[in-house]
Structure 1
Amino acid sequence: MMATTHALWGMAVALPVLAIAPEFAPAAFVAGVVGGLAPDFDLYAGHRKTLHYPVYASLSTVPALALALAVPSSVTVVLAVFLAAAAIHAVTDVLGGGLELRPWEATSERGVYSHYHDRWLPPRRWVRYDGAPEDLLLAGLAALALSVGTSGAVTAVALVLFTVSAVYVLLRKSLASVAERLAALVPASLRHHVPARYRT
């Protein structure tokens, strides 16, 4: 799924905080964005393996949420929202396309690596690829929830992220060719740093 979809759903995780403990909401929304994006920090170093933990992140979220409810503070709430957003990211990537430059071709059976199972989980392709119309729909649902449930900066960020999502969806398939061309310009001595999916 798109990074913007993950960020929007990470922010949506913080909506209950706004209702239950609004004093922690600003920090929770930031934690949601960061947690929603954090797994993709492995984009160029073992993407969907190094920082994606669909099982462990999900399991660690449970005690973190319990702690935040029992002892609410900026630290416990931020930790719970961050872990929940990161877990949702890793789990939902399994529902998307494979790990390939053109995932709409469905040639890869690598969805997300599960450290718990010590193997790659196959992509379910419910969302066919990042930037697919159904991906935009998911981004739109989260943006709508945030727009209805919040105001000010959070609503503005949600609308900006949704707008970026819509532009990305329009350009998605052509961007694969652009990435391939750019990768070809990398000097041979540095080519091994370019992820294999970008090399022709």
Structure 2
Amino acid sequence: MMATTHAFMGMALALPVLATAPELAPPAFVAGLVGGVAPDLDLYAGHRKTLHYPVYAPIAAVLALVLAVLVPSASTIVLAVALAAAALHAATDAVGGGLELRPWRAGSERAVYSHYHGRWIRPRRWIRYDGAPEDLALAGFAAVPVIIAGDGPLTVLTAALLAVSVVYVLFRKHLATAAERLAAFAPAPLHPYLPERYRGA
């Protein structure tokens, strides 16, 4: 899925906070955004493995949620939303496409790595690839309530990210070719740091 889709889903997790403790909603929305995109910081270092925990992250999120219910405060609520967003990110990567430069070809059987099982979880391809039309539909489904419920900077940021998502979807398949060509021009010392899928995919 697109990074923006993960961000919107993470932010949507903060909507109950807005309804029950509106004074804590701003940091909760930020926590959802950060938690939603944070797992993808491993893009160039073991993508969907290093920072993705489809089994352990949900357990941590449940424990954090229990703590937030028992000891409600800005810090416990922010922690719960952030961990829930990160857990949702890892779990939903399993229903998307495989880990490859052109996932619409359905050639990879690696969706997300489970550290608990010690193996890769295969892609379900309910959302065929990041930037697919159904990915944009899910992004919109998660973003619209945030846009409606939010105000000021939150609404502007979410709407802007949704617009970026639309552009990404329009050019998704062309971007794969562009990335491959740019990788070919990378200096030799950088080659070990490039994702394998960028090298002659």
- Amino-acid identity (%): 68
- Residue 144 (structure 1) shift: 1.1
**Residues 50-199 of structure 1 mapped to structure 2, 5 A cutoff:** 50-199=50-199
Gaps of 5+ in 2: none
Cα distance in 2 between the residues matched to 1:63 and 1:168 = 36
1:99 counterpart SS class: coil
- Residue 158 (structure 1) shift: 1.3
- Superposition TM-score, scaled by structure 1 size: 0.98
Aligned to 2:10: 10
The one-letter amino acid of 1:3's match is A
Cα distance in 2 between the residues matched to 1:70 and 1:163 = 39
Aligned to 2:47: 47
Cα distance in 2 between the residues matched to 1:189 and 1:161 = 34
- Superposition TM-score, scaled by structure 2 size: 0.98
Deviations 1:135-182 (A, max 9, x none): 000000111111222222222111111101000000100000000000
Cα distance in 2 between the residues matched to 1:36 and 1:75 = 17
Cα distance in 2 between the residues matched to 1:187 and 1:62 = 45
Deviations 1:6-40 (A, max 9, x none): 11111101010011111111110110000000000
Gaps of 5+ in 1: none
The one-letter amino acid of 2:83's match is L
Deviations 1:99-149 (A, max 9, x none): 000000000000000011110000000000000000000000111111222
The one-letter amino acid of 1:21's match is A
1:101 counterpart SS class: coil
1:130 counterpart SS class: coil
2:120 counterpart SS class: strand
The one-letter amino acid of 1:83's match is L
- Residue 189 (structure 1) shift: 2.5
Aligned to 1:33: 33
Cα distance in 1 between the residues matched to 2:148 and 2:189 = 51
1:19 counterpart SS class: helix
- Residue 74 (structure 1) shift: 1.2
The one-letter amino acid of 1:96's match is G
- Residue 190 (structure 1) shift: 2.1
